[in-house]
Structure 1
Amino acid sequence: MTTRDQIHAYFEAFNAGDTAAMLEMVSEEVAHHVNQGGVRRGKARFAEFNAHMTKCYRELLTDVEVFVGEDPTRAAAEFVVNGEYLTTDEGLPEARGQKYVLPAGSFFELKDGRISRITTYYNLEDWIAQVSA
């Protein structure tokens, strides 16, 4: 499977809500860099993050474009997050089922056929404005 195929498969699993498939695609020592947050290291922490996100948000990623450089161990993607805020996330505005649309991007590193780093960025202020309206 090519790097491009792996990243597309990751996003397809995300959109299907198949966090088990996402976990299969990442390395045991995955480094997950979350927008404006810390780094979660390891598959267990990544699984915890996914469970939390599934509880608080329902999201579908559209307009996914994957970019792979000359080095096939690194890739990037841009996409649009179409979401619904389900349950209040600590430190954020109260959830009332608000819908949001947010451009975002992720960077990936692969090692030994698995995703070893995921770094995701989006505009948190834009998201807060949308769910606070």
Structure 2
Amino acid sequence: MEEKDGKTVIYACFGGFSNTGITTALASMDAVKEIGLDKVCIGCLGGLPINVKPVYENTDKAKKIITVDGCPMECSRKTVENAGYKIAKSIVLVRDIGMKKKSLYEGDENNHLTDNINEEDVRKAKELIVKAILEE
């Protein structure tokens, strides 16, 4: 297989209905901040099924692809695989860090976006993502 010299691309769920989806977003962004945009970026998951050319061009150049899903539905992994890409590492937060999925809308109707987000879960998820980026 040809060695690619591009960035690692993270495709994260970003699902806004649950704590797990938002945690994938926050942890992925934290991982990019830690490692640096010169080595890793977050891909546009929505661009894959609608064939957005720049999304494919950047993914084609990727050194490796990591998917980060919040729940067992694994929407990001399935979307990336359906686009024809090989995934170097698939992370699923409910499986890999033992997160419990909850609706962001549970409880008080005046919830804020981060009310059901656990910072410890974000930290654990970020550590898994960083480890996957740094693995050879």
Q: Fold-level match, TM-score > 0.5? A: no
Q: Please give the range of the TM-score, normalised by the shorter of the 2 chains.
A: under 0.3
Greater share of strand: 1
- Higher relative contact order, chain-length normalized (CA < 8 Å, sep 6+): 2
TM-score by length of 2: 0.26
